[in-house]
């Protein structure tokens, strides 16, 4: 997973300005060969599912094959480092912004998050679910907090990894509630969801995607809270963390495309136009909506400014939460 603030300033209205005319796209020499999209998380998660869907739609617009390459590990850092080092001019990343805005504050990263990449296009933001597994007997978020206070350390809550947006949310919940929740960090979301269905821990935080939604439909997982500016239309009975008294933990994950800083500006412009053309497609919007994602297109300049703001804001949050670098 990562971030967020709800007033993104990026809307569907920016599509018209961001999409390049067909004639301009046709004249560009880039790409000259297959384009590789690095997903810095395991296969099967929301990032991977959306990347593959977008790759299919980008192929005809770019006129070249578009392949997805999973490079998971270290909260997205390994895959993002591979992109920063790429010299072929045809390697991109599709990821949450956290490897650039959060990871550098909680772990050592081998790249400069603000200098080694060029933000190409924001794509969507995704709410975060707080879910109960079969192991938690309580019926509500309040019940889970009460159980954690009654038995310090006995209630466990998992995330997709140390230093992720989910980890930040957990720390904010712990600080505000005073509950001694035991954090269980995973290395990505796939095994996390598998273990959740088996009740290997009590609670977890994650972005919605098909595997989670299926377990919810089967009654194996229960959504106790969501994040975002308002309740989700699909779950009007589920409160936001802000409503429950945890506005600092009411964070969403913003996803987008990035390229090595060496990618020529014309290639960035062409990519941004193609990506925003895909996001303007009603079918794509509906597919993202079914996963509770909100389409959030924009220009490279808007995306870069947002990343810089989030980088600065997360430095403050990490310091206040006393999260130490690994």
pLDDT in tens, 293-325: 889 999 999 999 999 999 998 898 888 877 776
| Confidence check: pLDDT of 17 > 50 | no
Q: Give the pTM.
A: 0.76
CATH class of 129-249: alpha beta
Structure tokens at 305: 């400014």
What does pLDDT average to over the chain? 89
Cα separation, 197 vs 270, in Å, equals 42
More confident residue, 171 or 6: 171
pLDDT interval class at 29 (50, 70, 90): confident
CA distance 65 to 278: 16
Is it true that 12-126+252-321 and 129-249 share their CATH fold?
A: yes
Report in angstroms the alpha-carbon separations of 282 from 122, 269, 289, 291: 17, 22, 10, 15
**Could you give the CA distance from residue 48 to residue 62 in angstroms, rounded to a whole number?**
20
Span of 29-33, 137-141, 162-166 with lowest mean pLDDT: 162-166
- Confidence label for 326 from pLDDT (cuts 50, 70 and 90): low
To which CATH superfamily is domain 12-126+252-321 assigned? Answer: Bordetella uptake gene, domain 1 (3.40.190.150)
The residues spanned by each domain of the chain are 12-126+252-321, 129-249
pLDDT at res. 298:
96
């Amino acid at each position: 997973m990562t971030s967020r603030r709800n007033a993104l300033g990026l809307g569907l209205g920016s599509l018209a300005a961001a999409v390049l005319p067909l004639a301009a796209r046709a004249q560009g020499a880039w790409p000259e060969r297959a384009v590789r999209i690095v997903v810095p998380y395991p296969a099967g998660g929301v990032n991977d599912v959306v990347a593959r869907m977008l790759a299919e739609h980008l192929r005809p617009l770019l006129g070249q094959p578009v392949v997805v390459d999973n490079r998971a590990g270290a909260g997205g850092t390994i895959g993002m480092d591979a992109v920063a080092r790429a010299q072929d001019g045809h390697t991109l990343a599709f990821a949450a912004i956290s490897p650039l805005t959060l990871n550098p504050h909680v772990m050592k990263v081998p790249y400069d998050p603000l200098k080694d990449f060029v933000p190409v296009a924001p794509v969507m933001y995704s709410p975060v679910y707080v879910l109960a597994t079969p192991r938690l007997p309580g019926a509500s978020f309040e019940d889970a907090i009460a159980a954690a206070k009654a038995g310090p350390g006995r209630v466990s809550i998992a995330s997709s990894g140390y230093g992720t947006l989910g980890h930040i949310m957990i720390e904010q919940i712990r600080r505000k509630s005073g509950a001694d929740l035991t954090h269980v960090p995973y290395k990505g979301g796939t095994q996390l969801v598998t273990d959740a269905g088996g009740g290997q821990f009590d609670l977890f935080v994650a972005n919605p995607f098909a595997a989670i939604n299926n377990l919810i439909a089967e009654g194996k997982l229960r959504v106790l809270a969501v994040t975002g500016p308002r309740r989700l239309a699909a779950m009007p009975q589920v409160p936001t963390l802000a409503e429950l008294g945890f506005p600092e933990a009411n964070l969403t994950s913003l996803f987008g495309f990035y390229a090595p800083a060496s990618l020529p500006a014309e290639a960035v412009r062409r990519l941004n136009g193609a990506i925003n053309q895909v996001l303007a497609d009603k079918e794509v919007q509906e597919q993202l909506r079914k996963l509770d994602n909100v389409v959030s297109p924009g220009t490279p300049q808007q995306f870069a400014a947002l990343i810089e703001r989030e980088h600065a804001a997360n430095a403050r949050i990490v310091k206040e939460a006393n999260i130490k670098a690994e």
